[in-house]
Amino acid sequence: MSDEQEARAVRQIEEGVQRDFSAAMSYGDYLGLDQLLSAQHPRSQPEQHDELLFIVQHQTSELWLKLMLHELRSARSLLSSDELAPALKRLARVKRIQEILTEQWSVLATLTPSEYAEIRPFLATSSGFQSWQYRAVEFLLGNKNADMVKVHDHDEAARSMLAQLLEEPSLYDEFLRYLSRRGYAIPAEVLERDLTQPYRENAELVDTFAAVYASPVEHWGVYETCEELVDLEDNFQQWRFRHLQVVTRTIGHKKGTGGSSGVDFLRRALDLTFFPELYSVRTRV
């Protein structure tokens, strides 16, 4: 290769590209990469090759959950102030996050039972069941459970945050309040319900949504929001099912490290629903 050809083969750094970061903020500075990339602490002795995969998988999931909480809180706030369009934009982003979280299970699925068995003893009693961010997402979507708050009594910040979310309206509660302000027939018992309890289906509310689905053009914004919420729950169920599959192929029917029954416990979660009327209405369309 001639000198001229070699020069063309190498992409030269442009003159204007920043090189000196002694007094300027770098990419690593902005993202706090020193802290982020030093937060992986394998516990296995001797250190097992696959433990880093397990740690990174769960740490990245927690980062996506942090962003999901940010977006869901914002969507809830926007609904409370009757700003439907930007709330839907937030939910569109949440759906993309959900897709990434579900796809991530495919990476962890490369961990064979034999490989995981080398790591599992070092997890001790730690378990994804203890993820307070995951629990916060469920609370925001309406699956409230006061007993879950007690799991985090050892962590004052997490316990306080979950206790607050337990008392606050869910995303669905705010949507129903929005509908009530717009003149839709929302039963009083729904609007005045005990917010610390999981949401329960209301037959009268199914009638209200049946009218929306009977004339979607007339109720387009509401109709679109209903379908966005169904997408959200559908994605959540896919995440749960993929989790179940990966756990089944990795540990079979062993108990979970946190003391749960494992696969059977995860399977029962598939029966939970956030927005029951939005599914019941489908038999009426």
User: Which residues are annotated binding-site positions?
Assistant: 54-58, 116, 120, 243, 257
- Residue where the block lists tokens 């982003």: 93
Amino acid making up residue 77: S
CB under 8 Å to 29, separation ≥6 — which residues?
21
CB under 8 Å to 284, separation ≥6 — which residues?
206, 210, 213
Interatomic CA distance for residues 61 and 50, integer angstroms: 17
- Residue where the block lists tokens 């679109």: 224
- Residue where the block lists tokens 């997402």: 137
- Residue where the block lists tokens 């929001």: 225
Integer-rounded Cα Rg, in Å, for the chain is: 23
Q: For residue 94, how far is the Cα from the chain centroid?
A: 8
Phi, psi of 186 (to 5 degrees): -110, 120
Q: Which residues are annotated as a binding site for heme?
A: 243
Q: Which residues are annotated as a binding site for substrate?
A: 54-58, 116, 120, 257
